[in-house]
Structure 1
Amino acid sequence: MAYADPITLRDEIVSLVPLSSDHEADLKEASEDGELWKLWYTTVPKPEDMGAEISRRLDLQKAGSMCPFAIVDNASGKAVGMTTYMNIDEANRRLEIGSTWYRKSVQRGGFNTRCKLMLLTHAFEEFNCNAVEFCTHFMNRQSRAAIERLGAKLDGILRSHKMMPDGSLRDTCVYSILAHEWPTVKTHLTFQRDKTR
């Protein structure tokens, strides 16, 4: 199986399903919950741009550089956010988990831990990845804290790395989890997941 091939990952609370245009209405509603696109240090699509963002991610999947997911709340059956395997480098058995966002009402409720546990388990145990990366804006303290809670370690900061939509420059914090660290990280995430049941 290629890293960009569509897959479904699920547990009893949340599912990661292949992103499609069928998720557009749910994701528009999710973006409106908390007006997430107004956060200057991240790039959550505006509701009116959701269709274009879904198309962009699916085009990157066709090119083999991304595997996009809709994050679905099993209880409601509705998509509550998006995430991806991205910057796929199969030759070196590396990928990034990113372009992740959740509607405000499900943040801090255990969804992120569950999704990352499923994504990391698949990356390390099915793809046999050497490393999985996470990148975020230096100013995005909430995202940095969430990445660090996973057990990822800071590799470094890429200064003036990217232009943001508002024209500002992003310093990118690059984190990773290495294959030999995965067993400990998995134990930690499983413990955290089970605390939210």
Structure 2
Amino acid sequence: MSWPAPITLEGVHVRLAPLSHTHAPDLRDAARDGDLHKLWYTSVPAPDAIEAEIDRRLGLQQQGGMLPFAVIKPDTGQAVGMTTYMNVDAANKRVEIGSTWYRKAVQRTPLNTEAKLLLLHHAFDALDCIAVEFRTHFLNRQSRTAIERLGAKLDGILRSHQKMPNGSLRDTAVYSIIACEWPAVKAGLEYRLNPDSLHDAGK
């Protein structure tokens, strides 16, 4: 069996389901929300490129290098973005959480926090990962801030790491959470999702 195997991860604010072409109509609509593909420092697919992007991700899954998910809003059942385990290293039990994007309407909501909590929980507690990586453009301050708020630590900068669609060179900021840090990171994410829980625990 492939590692990691396809799975659906369920939360209150989000459901992460194995990506398929049935999600394409919702994802085309999601990609139109905010014209995210026009941001030069990201790699969000354009609406008319969604099917090709699903094919690309499913192809990498077949090769053992990626496990792609559709990001679903439970209350509507609609796909509002994509995320993945990528750069899968089964021998060393390491994955990267990346290739993530959400429609503008759900950004800066509990959906992203819970999605990361679900992915990290599965990686550390079910897959027994020794480390989980996050990578982003050095100049993507919004993404870097979000990663740092998770509790991930900066490992370093890969300079001139990738060519971007506009021809510029991307310096990649590499972050990670290692297994011994997971309990503290988990507590922080759970508190962000339910800050009243700390007060309830003292009653």
- Shorter-normalised TM-score: what interval? over 0.9
Question: Partner letter of residue 130 of structure 2?
Answer: N
Partner of 1:112: 112
Deviations 1:55-109 (A, max 9, x none): 0000000111000000000011000000000000010110100000000000001
Structure 2 SS opposite 1:132:
strand
Whether the 8 Å contact between 2:86 and 2:95 is mirrored in structure 1 is yes
The alpha carbon displacement at 1:110 in A equals: 1.1
CA RMSD of aligned residues (A): 1.3
- Name the larger-Rg structure: 2
Query: Aligned equivalents of 2:122 and 2:5: distance in 1?
Result: 13
Question: Partner letter of residue 134 of structure 2?
Answer: F
Matches for 1:24-35 after TM superposition, within 5 Å: 24-35=24-35
Whether the 8 Å contact between 1:4 and 1:65 is mirrored in structure 2 is no
- Distance change in 2, residues 1:26/1:196 (3 Å): farther
Whether the 8 Å contact between 1:4 and 1:61 is mirrored in structure 2 is no
Question: Partner letter of residue 194 of structure 2?
Answer: D
Query: Aligned equivalents of 1:167 and 1:34: distance in 2?
Result: 23
Query: Aligned equivalents of 2:192 and 2:43: distance in 1?
Result: 27
Whether the 8 Å contact between 1:93 and 1:130 is mirrored in structure 2 is yes
Partner of 1:69: 69
Structure 2 SS opposite 1:6:
coil
Matches for 1:36-47 after TM superposition, within 5 Å: 36-47=36-47
Query: Aligned equivalents of 1:118 and 1:17: distance in 2?
Result: 12
- Distance change in 2, residues 1:126/1:45 (3 Å): same
Question: Partner letter of residue 144 of structure 1?
Answer: R
- Distance change in 2, residues 1:15/1:149 (3 Å): same
2:174 is the alignment partner of 1:174 = yes
The alpha carbon displacement at 1:2 in A equals: 3.5
Query: Aligned equivalents of 1:109 and 1:12: distance in 2?
Result: 12
Question: Partner letter of residue 102 of structure 1?
Answer: Y
Q: How many residues align?
A: 197
- Distance change in 2, residues 1:19/1:196 (3 Å): farther
Whether the 8 Å contact between 1:24 and 1:50 is mirrored in structure 2 is yes
Deviations 1:133-180 (A, max 9, x none): 000000101000000000000000000000111111000000000000
**Normalising by the residue count of structure 2, what TM-score does the alignment of the two structures yield?**
0.95
Whether the 8 Å contact between 1:83 and 1:99 is mirrored in structure 2 is yes
Partner of 2:122: 122
Query: Aligned equivalents of 1:183 and 1:69: distance in 2?
Result: 24
Question: Partner letter of residue 179 of structure 1?
Answer: A
- Identical residues among aligned pairs (%): 61
The alpha carbon displacement at 1:195 in A equals: 4.0
**Structure 2, unpaired ranges of 5+:** 198-203
2:59 is the alignment partner of 1:59 = yes
